[in-house]
């Protein structure tokens, strides 16, 4: 065995359980506060039929990839709160940009509205996602289900829970499913037509091998649903770090096995994210290898 002298081993910061608890507390506070803001502002920009007014929406990477005024202002709100609660710490957000840094300091990874298309149409499946990462690992995270008025959270090594609208706290556990053929999978699609065409071809291979597939429309919520045992697994190609930084930790702390890109990997590389209940994880990863799902879909 090669012995690496301590002096040349890269110093990897080790957070204490107390620090993780505090990061989780802040993540929950931010996600809850931001969710209340999103609820309020949705009413302000609602058109007569319930969908968001067209003048509140613009497009981003493709004409079907929306950003609303509420996405932008909610991320600004989270950044302002963080500057006050955690002065000097880095933020990496879907709308305001940033990076995961060099791994030596905490970075807050923020998706102000995950499920923006649902938010626009008024489908009640959109969320606010906030995670504290260090050296490419999520230490704490919270995902607020805005319409359901509930918050999922986890701390590394500290478990995962859901706080309901009435304050009821429920510890989260994945399902005990043992066969992929009996598994309910959640997935999603990117915004580019080319990626979608390839994702469609892969889903045609996966669908006959599982119980069924759901496309709910918020990857962060899909991952929380794996944690809560509402689906058995989630997979998607080309997610951004802010889509999974909180939800993947929540799923893992509820027992899920993960396959993740390195933090900071950009969507266009098309790498695969998987979170699976432990009883099907090996079988599902093997099936994905066999069907070519494990390959990136750029
Ligand atoms: C999207 C949602 C969706 C997933 C897309 C994401 P956004 O995030 O998570 O479920 O399939 O890949 O881009 O655009 O609503 O923040
Ligand atoms: Ca997102």
Tens digit of pLDDT for each residue in 183-203?
999 999 999 999 999 999 999
Q: Tokens 């067209």 — which residue?
A: 54
**Residue 6, pLDDT score:** 52
Q: Indicate the top mutation candidate among 34, 75, 114 to test ligand 1's pocket, ranked by most ligand atoms within 8 A of CB.
A: 114
Please state the pTM of the whole predicted model. 0.95
**Residue 1, pLDDT score:** 43
Checking if the pLDDT of 130 tops 90, the result is: yes
Residues measured by CB to lie within 5 Å of ligand 2, the ion: 111, 114, 243
Mean pLDDT of the chain: 95
Q: What is the DSSP string of 189-207?
A: --SSHHHHHHHHHHHHHHG
Task: Evaluate whether 126 touches 118 at the Cβ level (below 8 Å).
Answer: yes
Closest listed residue to residue 16, CA positions, set 172, 158, 153, 135: 158
Tens digit of pLDDT for each residue in 20-42?
999 999 999 999 999 999 999 99
Checking if the pLDDT of 292 tops 50, the result is: yes
Does the beta carbon of 114 sit less than 6 angstroms from any atom of ligand 1?
yes
Each residue of 275-294: b (16+ CB within 10 Å) or e? bbbebbbebbbebbeeeebb
Helix %, strand %, coil % of the chain (to 5): 40, 25, 35
Checking if the pLDDT of 4 tops 50, the result is: no
**Residue 43, pLDDT score:** 84
What integer is the mean pLDDT of 90-100? 95
Does the beta carbon of 111 sit less than 6 angstroms from any atom of ligand 1?
yes
Q: What ligand is nearest to the CA atom of residue 245?
A: 2
Neighbours of 192 (CB within 10 A): 20
């Amino acid at each position: 065995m090669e012995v690496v002298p301590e002096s040349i081993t890269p110093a990897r910061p080790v957070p204490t359980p107390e620090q993780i608890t505090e990061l989780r507390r802040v993540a929950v506070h931010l996600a809850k506060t931001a969710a209340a803001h999103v609820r309020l502002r949705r009413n302000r920009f609602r058109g007569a039929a319930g969908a968001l007014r067209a003048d509140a929406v613009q497009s981003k990477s493709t004409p079907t990839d929306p950003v609303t005024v509420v996405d932008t202002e909610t991320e600004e709100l989270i950044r302002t709160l963080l500057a006050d609660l955690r002065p000097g710490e880095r933020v990496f957000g879907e709308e305001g940009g940033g990076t995961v840094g060099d791994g030596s300091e905490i970075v807050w990874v923020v998706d102000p509205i995950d499920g923006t298309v649902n938010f626009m149409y008024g489908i009640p499946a959109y969320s606010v996602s906030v995670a504290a990462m260090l050296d490419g690992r999520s230490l704490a995270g919270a995902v607020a289900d805005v319409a359901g008025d509930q918050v999922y959270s986890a701390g590394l090594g500290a478990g995962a829970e859901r706080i309901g609208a009435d304050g009821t706290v429920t510890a989260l556990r994945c399902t005990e499913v043992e066969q992929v053929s009996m598994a309910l999978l959640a997935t999603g699609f990117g915004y580019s037509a080319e990626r979608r065409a390839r994702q469609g071809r892969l889903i045609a291979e996966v669908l006959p091998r599982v119980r069924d597939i759901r496309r709910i429309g918020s990857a962060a919520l899909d991952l929380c649903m794996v944690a809560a045992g509402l689906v058995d697994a989630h997979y998607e190609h080309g997610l951004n770090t802010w889509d999974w930084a909180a939800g993947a930790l929540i799923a893992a702390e509820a027992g899920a096995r993960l396959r993740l890109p390195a933090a900071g990997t950009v969507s266009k590389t098309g790498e695969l994210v998987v979170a699976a209940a432990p009883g099907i994880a090996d079988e599902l990863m093997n099936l994905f290898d066999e069907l070519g799902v494990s390959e990136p879909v750029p």
